[in-house]
Structure 1
Amino acid sequence: MKNNLVIVESPAKAKTIGKFLGKKYTVKASVGHVRDLPKSKLGIDIENKFEPNYITIRGKGDVIKELKKEAKKADKVFLATDPDREGEAISWHLANILKLDEESTLRIEFNEITKEAVTKASKNPRKINIDLVDAQQARRILDRLVGYNISPLLWKKIEKGLSAGRVQSVALKIIIDREREINDFKSEEYWTLDLELSKLRKKIIAKYYGFLENDKIKKVKINNEDEVNAIINSIDKEKISVYKIDRTKKRTKPNPPFTTSSLQQEANRKLNFTAKKTMMVAQQLYEGINIKGEGSVGLVTYIRTDSFRLSDEAMSNVKDYILSNFDEKYYSSRTYTKSKKAETKVQDAHEAIRPTYVLKDPDKIKNDLTADQYKLYNLIWRRFVSSQMADAEFDITSITFNSNNNIFKTSGSILKFDGYKRIYKYSDGSDDKVLPDIVEQEELDIKKIDPVQHFTQPPARYTEATLIKTMEVLGIGRPSTYAPTITTISNREYVVKDKGSLLPTDMGFLVTEMMEKYFSTIINEKFTAQMENNLDEVASGKIGWRDVIIDFYKDFKVYLDVAEKEMEKIEIKDEVSDVKCDNCGEFMVVKKGRYGKFLACPNYPECKNTKPLKDKETVEETDIDCEKCGAKMLKRKGRYGEFLACSNYPKCKNTKQILKEIDVKCPLCGNKIAIKYSKAGRRFFGCSNYPDCNYLSWYEPTEQKCENCGSQMVMKNNKATCTNKKCEMSKA
């Protein structure tokens, strides 16, 4: 029997496709990239045509050793990494490390992790696409040249820990430019005038529109209080007559299925997910979720795509679903295309993001999903199904009122046919607004005259959703870069979240000003968008990747040399707190350390007093004494929940996890089991009596004992499984 080795990136993906391929195949995971440029240096030989110096990623030794061992045993090795440039590059690196023939047909790819797609792909392997690899290499080298040359310059001239990047600096500039618009905005006064009318106890709000002159209605803007008072003085204060009634029909079309960008935007608006969270949860849905009775199932197609395209099979399946569950009038076959301008940028290798099995209704598998997985899968599923449904239809009634030639208007809408809204039930502001029966020339009572002063508002700050949309329109970055770009500028504290909006910090302004001054030609929207087009040309084999890098670097080096000579060192003053130093009475300042911000005396080194910076939202004092120094412990909130930290930080860095116990006794000592987290953030279960008891389990323990051997049972893949490796006992 032949032994074939299939290598994917993630263990979850390996588990899902392993069950499709059968006993002839062994499926292993590389756990992402296995080679990369070194972190400690540039890693690019500029004099040798920018030859990259790839090294094995630290910590990947055991993984590579296992892959080599399995590859040696295998008759054939297949590389089934993700179907994009990054995945192609991972396959290329794997082929290099495992000494595989790159010219052989060892690359397989699939857009969805289903049995049909995986089986078909395994029968149609191809060569590694070097053009895609070169495009990924070019991007990586470009980003390394920019980041590893400008970032150290910022450290030297401004502050350590800063960074710049080919895409991140442009994204930050977009946010800064909007903030400048807001700061420069001059507000103008204007007024609105509403009449509250009544008929059959139903309230109607009619808004001032303009005036009637020679049977023509002219729209008018009310600029000040004198103008609004003049209008009020000219109208009847008791009644108003109906001048005209217009009745029309309106149809709204469903949106196309999701691309990466539109999914991130919609998840941000409808679910309040960050772009990073959206991609993390979407990746879980793509790689596979344990479904009761089925095992690991990939629920959505590949999540990094610019395309609206749907396969013929997907179109056929969704048609059958709609016709089986709704009346025939709800179905409407649709194809979606991007604008001609956008078509030049689209990466049409993949379909749009859609469910792999339309029959897997979100509500039917809700119990198998986490809350976040359900929300996002529900959004993707409903968007896909609704994209092939009929328009929603509304009856629109517009009523024009006249009072001494002053025109007021109101409108109402009634949903006559829900169409795609039957499935896509997310609010879009098109709810029914029903008006009472009114006829022309009818007079209605005026209950209230309501003039209101307003001032024009500046443009809104960017949210994650609107920033991603802007980056997409401008051609900055690609689907895979939006989320990490926003994460980077947030982690660097160039922007902070303010009621959902991205607010630039002083440091964000300072870094952007330096970049604009010395690298304006490179760090701008047009240049970055053109570079993305160049990378697309590399991917299509039209130009060589070295040509792109050489052309970029000759100008970049000039700007870099000028910045090195001319950029002045900027002194950043420490933020002064309202806390006085216990030793000398000076107001302490906020400093940044390896473990975050803390308070320090400004008279250092004469006074070396430090204190933790207490954030009222994340810090709570306790009566627990630190076992190392005796100071009081503080309750803090961290990435993995609450923990205790010494109040004498940074002198004492003692921390303790606050254990969340479960109602299961430790099999070794009888104390309760607690949920804990490793340094890498992986959840595990350990005895609450640690370090006196060292019991540990990566799976949730139970009180059950194995019926075969008496060992403890743990919950694994929703089944109680024996911990004795020699025993195969497992039950639901």
Structure 2
Amino acid sequence: MAKNLVVVESPAKAKTIGKYLGADYRVMASLGHIKDLPSKGLGVDVEHDFATTYEVIPDTKKRNNKKTVAELKKAAKEADAIYLAADPDREGEAICQHLAEEIVPKRPKKPAFRVMFNEITKRAVQEAFNEPKQIDVHLVDAQQARRVLDRLVGYKVSPLLCKTIGGRLSAGRVQSVALRMVVEREREIEKFVKTEYWTVAANLTSKLPPAFEARLWKIGEQTVKTSGFDQEVKKSEILVANEQQASEIVAEAEGQSFKVAEVTTKERKRNPVPSFITSKLQQEASRKLGYAVKKTMMLAQKLYEGIELGAEGAVGLITYMRTDSTRVSDTALGEVRDFIGQQYGPQYLPEKAVHYRSKKGAQDAHEAIRPTDVRRTPESLEGYLNNEELKLYRLIWQRFVASQMMAAIFDQTTIDIEAGRFVFRATGSVQKFDGFLRVYEEGRDEKTDEDDAEVARKLPLVERGEALKLNSVTPEQHFTEPPPRYTEATLVKALEEKGIGRPSTYAAIMTTILDREYVEKVEGRFHSTALGTTVNDLLVASFNDLFNESYTARMEEELDEIEEGKLKWTSALREFYDKFAKDLETAEAEMKAAKQQAIPTDEICEKCGAGMVIKFGRFGQFLAC
């Protein structure tokens, strides 16, 4: 019989780890958290240092949890030692703490250890078991502080929404800030006033082909304004604001001689980007593969926990997928450099490994997301992964390999052409060396025609002073565009840049605001619903500090400080709660006085002719006059 018990979260992970440990270890799965704050009642004593009451999650909330816990207890009783091997993050540490409380025998006391690995490979698993550790109380405290914060906000604020608007509504500490960003973007779009502007392009021929286009760049000493319309036109700029102005420029330009004034060619390097962190993987999978954040994380979890590879059995294909670190282990760097040299040749291999700096506050104990073995090319896995898994693996593999390759090199040419008081400019870019682009190119959120045109544009060889033949001068009307609505990729990017949420929370934020019908997706972009706008306005009016970006970001920093042992979790909560309690009191009084909110519609009541509104009852939305 196995002497040691190992507990992980999922059966897939248990299967992969089991084959590396051998017959002395029995590996079982807890199927995620086994304990949580109670489903009925607050479970937090705010008067006594936020003492918490946890319960084993009832079967009504998590299927067969009672049976799972009983089986783990029995196995722990029979084992000589217990190894708790949940994921290497706050949630994983909290799962291990709850397992230690519930399943590890107290009499006789049995040794219990915490083991962590960033990848599920034979080497990583054996190293972790050779040096087992104890549960990190600071990580547990950080998770508990986040859970209690979320419980306090949800439990205290959600009933106010239900009373004021009706129906079953919820507020969340982070989800409500994301909703606010979507609503505020919607209002920016509604308020946006278009600005008309015109560009003028000349089609020209030199001694050598091909014919090319140059845009009007300057009139006298003034630069033609084609961007930055939220700012006033400077003295050094000129705005071609209407058709008449553009037509006058065209007429004048057609009577001028066009001559090359300046030709400059500069070498431009384009460097590769680091291996993925969680948020960047979510953004790129959304842009390139059209995957929702939730789907990306579900697929990445499978790749991390292990996929059956024929005779090889279950193999973890990528490192842990919740990380904000760009660090890569020296072993993996050595392997990828060997691979690049052999596969693509020495000209693609930098002299030394490329090290990228992680953002401030990143947890560098983790690595970036990368393949566990770079020699497992996407092509070699085609028979084992389904189409969606393979696409995500290919993205991760390509990004990792490209991150350690040479920069791409371009020749960027600029031709300035004089025509009377006008200066026209043509730019073009020619790739001299593909470098990392041979393997991977990062996607963009909002592509511009100009970006694509510059790389595609081929310019002829011209000399300074050379006369050019004018073929045509064409004016083109443009209007400024409002800021674009958020996609999943751009909302994750904005949340990350503002320090809101963490790698483990982005997927849950998106899911919650969609499931609550506070936002809807139209052609892949978030639109706030009438309900979402009403909920947001109520929350902002009563809890402006709580549901704003900088406050939420500061709370995330405090959670990081708790994790690092720099801040006591109860002190952070006390500071939060003292202000929150006052805001809550004010909000309760204001909302009690307010009439139940209703959302106006364009519908007219057939009986009385009054405008109809949406109201919310126990069973959902209904129309009333």
TM-score (norm 2): 0.89
Which string of whole-angstrom CA distances, capped at 9 and with x for unpartnered residues, describes residues 471-516 of structure 1? 1111111111111111111111111112222111222221111111
- Which residue pairs with 1:360 in the alignment? 376
SS of corresponding position for 1:480: coil
Is it true that 1:168 corresponds to 2:175 in the alignment?
yes
1:528 aligns with 552
Residue by residue over 1:83-117, the C-alpha shift from the partner in whole angstroms, topping out at 9 and shown as x without a partner, is: 00100000000010113569955100000000000
* Superposed counterparts of 1:143-162, under 5 Å: 143-162=150-169
**Residue in structure 2 matching 1:413, options 410, 426, 429:** 429
CA distance in 2, matches of 1:119, 1:314: 17
Q: How far apart are 1:433 and its partner, in Å?
A: 2.8
How far does residue 241 in structure 1 lie from its aligned partner after superposition? Answer: 2.6
One-letter code of the match for 1:396?
Q
Distance 1:574 1:269 in 2: 35
User: In structure 2, what is the Cα distance between the partners aligned to 1:540 and 1:375?
Assistant: 36
Q: Secondary structure at the match of 1:393?
A: strand
Q: Are residues 235 and 602 of structure 1, via their aligned partners in 2, closer, same or farther at CA, if it must alter by over 3 Å?
A: closer
Partner SS for 1:368:
coil
Determine which of 327, 337, 347 is the counterpart of 2:357: 337
Q: Which residue of 2 aligns with 1:8?
A: 8
Q: RMSD of the alignment, in Å?
A: 2.9
Q: In the TM superposition, what is the alpha-carbon distance from 1:432 to its structure 2 partner?
A: 4.1
**Equivalent residue runs for 1:537-548 within 5 Å:** 537-548=561-572
> Which residue number corresponds to residue 570 of structure 1?
596
Residues 298 and 220 of structure 1: CA distance in aligned 2, closer, same or farther (over 3 Å): same
* Pair 1:205 & 2:213 matched: yes
List gaps (5 residues or longer) in structure 1: 604-732
Change (3 A) 1:519 1:246: same
- Which structure: larger Rg? 1
* 1:18 and 2:23 correspond: no
* Residue of structure 1 equivalent to 2:62: none
Distance 2:6 2:71 in 1: 13
Q: Distance in 1 between matches of 2:521 and 2:72?
A: 43
Give the aligned partner of residue 400 of structure 1. 416
Cα distance in structure 1, aligned partners of 2:322 and 2:344: 31
Corresponding residue number in structure 1 for 2:230 = none
The 1-side partners of 2:616 and 2:301 are apart by: 34
Alignment partner of 1:479 is 2:503: yes
In 2, the alpha carbon distance for the partners of 1:213 and 1:36 equals 69
| Whole-angstrom distance in 1 between the partners of 2:605 and 2:342 | 69
Greater shift, 63-72 or 190-199, is seen at: 190-199
Summarize the Cα distance change of 1:137–1:100 in structure 2 as closer, same or farther, 3 Å threshold.
farther
Alignment of structure 1 residues 295-334 onto 2, 5 Å: 295-332=313-350, 333-334=353-354
**2:46 counterpart letter in structure 1:** I
More helix, by proportion: 2
CA contact (8 A) 2:166 2:618 kept: no
Kept in 2, the 8 Å contact 1:110–1:121? The answer is yes
Distance of aligned partners of 1:248 and 1:63 in 2 relative to their CA distance in 1, 3 Å threshold: same
Report the CA distance between 1:240 and its aligned residue: 2.8
Q: Against the structure 1 CA distance between its residues 410 and 106, is the aligned structure 2 distance closer, same or farther, given a 3 Å change threshold?
A: same
Matches within 5 A, 1:200-599: 202-212=210-220, 220-236=238-254, 240-332=258-350, 333-338=353-358, 342-343=359-360, 345-425=361-441, 431-567=455-591, 568-572=594-598
Query: In the alignment, residue 46 of structure 1 is paired with which amino acid?
Result: V
Whole-angstrom distance in 1 between the partners of 2:50 and 2:316: 40
Q: Distance in 1 between matches of 2:240 and 2:613?
A: 51
* Structure 1 residue 79 corresponds to structure 2 residue 72: no
**Distance in 2 between residues matched to 1:3 and 1:104, nearest whole Å:** 12
- Return the offset for 1:425: 4.6
- Check the 8 A contact 1:236/1:403 in 2, yes or no: no
Kindly state the Cα deviation for residue 229 of structure 1 after the two structures are TM-superposed.
2.4
The separation in 1 between residues aligned to 2:161 and 2:317, in whole angstroms, is 44
SS at match of 2:113: coil
Distance 1:424 1:104, change over 3 A: same
Is the deviation greater in 159-168 or in 374-383?
Answer: 159-168
Give 1:590 shift.
8.4
Cα contact 2:214–2:424 (8 A) shared by 1: yes
The one-letter code sitting in structure 2 at the alignment partner of 1:300 is I
Tell me the residue number matched to 1:186.
Answer: 193
Structure 1 window deviating more from structure 2 (256-265 vs 544-553): it is 544-553
How has the CA–CA distance of structure 1 residues 601 and 395 changed in structure 2, closer, same or farther, with 3 Å as cutoff?
Answer: closer
Farther off after superposition, 427-436 or 1-10: 427-436
Identity of aligned residues (%): 46
1:92 aligns to 2:97 (yes or no): yes
Alpha-carbon distance in 2 for matches of 1:405, 1:574: 57
Q: Distance in 2 between matches of 1:587 and 1:326?
A: 69
Matched, 1:123 2:130: yes
1 CA distance for matches of 2:154 and 2:478?
46
Name 2:228's counterpart in structure 1. none
1:308 aligned counterpart, secondary structure: coil
When residues 401 and 103 of structure 1 are mapped into structure 2, their CA distance, relative to the original with a 3 A threshold, is farther
> Distance between the aligned counterparts of 2:118 and 2:510, measured in 1?
26
Describe the SS at the equivalent of 1:106. strand
Q: How many Å separate the matches in 2 of 1:246 and 1:49?
A: 68
Which AA in structure 2 matches 1:314?
A
Q: Which residue of 2 aligns with 1:112?
A: 119
Moved more, 246-255 or 455-464: 455-464
